[in-house]
Structure 1
Amino acid sequence: MTDGIIATRDSDSASETMPDGAAAVARGIGRLFARNDIWCIPEMPLRNGRRADLMGIDAKGHIIIVEIKVARADLLGDGKWPDYLDFCDRFYWGLAPHLDRSPLEGNDFKPDCCGVIVADGYDAEILRPAPLQPLNAARRKTEVERLARAAMRRHAGVIDPECAGLFRGE
């Protein structure tokens, strides 16, 4: 058990808009999270113009963002990830198993405030828990509402694809 999250198998969550490797990582993380009552959606737009690869909420109402990386160049070249920290209580890097994790130990990647999850298309494991860095109550309320509305919009689109076409943004 790591930070209240247990690593075993089962459930589903991947994005059709992610590259194949990233979709597999998202699926494995989705399974890990689902087993631990953390529900997330992929490709969640944030109010600062960024888009979180996975954004979810745990049973205590904490917001979790996961930034997925499957290539070293993408990991090393990503300068936008600190922009996500203002929108979550916990931030994780979600990595493919083959990816070298050593850069995440450097100060540029703030290891004191970022967790690390390694995942494939079947499962995931938390290698470093993300510390809780609580959002203020007003920000959390706003983000939980945005996350809930986005999830409901997506669900409505699954039930009735014509309904999805009525809304043009998130």
Structure 2
Amino acid sequence: MTHLDPTLPAMPGHRLARGVGRLLRSMDHAVLTEFSPSRGLRVDVISMGPKGEFWIVECKSCRADFMGDRKWQGYVEWCDRYFWAVDCDFPSELLPPDTGLICADAYGAEIQRMAPEARLAGARRSRIMRDFARASALRLQGLTDPDALTAGVF
């Protein structure tokens, strides 16, 4: 009988995001998961690199997960590089060839195809940087003062 590590996220997409986060952190990126760049959008992983560049990574755990995603094109305009993260058994030929590809598991990841760069406009970069910083600070405060959530501080 196989025993799952209780410290790992239960959902396959969250396990991929964990491995992606480890890869990006090793590249000196600051990483957030479950980030909303705009109303109605929620990306799996966003990172800010050491020069202020933003990468978005969408984690797809299976073919059905990818086929059911109708919003991904809207994410591209919120980053400098856009990637898919999948496990090594995913049929990668389904993924658009003009996007980046990362092979991941819960313990790490590797870039298989670098995403083309499409630099954000200055105003968009400023907005996403502000929102990224605010989300990061709120999450950090939530970790250091969990009671603030129930006290109505957030």
What is the TM-score of this pair, normalised by structure 2?
Answer: 0.89
Q: What is the CA distance between 1:15 and its match in structure 2?
A: 9.5
Q: What is the CA distance between 1:40 and its match in structure 2?
A: 1.0
Q: Does 1:52 align with 2:43?
A: yes
Aligned identity (percent) is: 37
Q: Unaligned stretches of 5+ in structure 2? A: 1-6
**Secondary structure of 1:87's aligned partner:** coil
> Is the contact between residue 33 and residue 44 of structure 2 (CA under 8 Å) also seen in structure 1?
yes
Q: What is the CA distance between 1:41 and its match in structure 2?
A: 0.8
Q: Unaligned stretches of 5+ in structure 1? A: 1-13
Query: Hey, what does 1:132 align to over in structure 2?
Result: 117
Q: What is the CA distance between 1:79 and its match in structure 2?
A: 1.9
Query: Hey, what does 1:4 align to over in structure 2?
Result: none
Paired positions, count = 147
Change in CA separation of 1:85 and 1:76 when aligned onto 2, cut-off 3 Å: same
Q: What does the per-residue CA deviation read over 1:35-72, in whole Å, with 9 as the maximum and x for residues that have no partner?
A: 11011111001213110001110011011111110010
Of 108, 128, 139, 1:154 maps to 139
Large movers: runs of 4+ above 6 Å: none
Q: Residue type of the partner of 2:149? A: A
Q: Does 1:121 align with 2:112?
A: no
What is the TM-score of this pair, normalised by structure 1?
Answer: 0.81
Q: Residue type of the partner of 1:53? A: D
Q: Which has the larger radius of gyration?
A: 2
User: What is the root-mean-square deviation in Å for CA atoms of aligned residues?
Assistant: 1.8
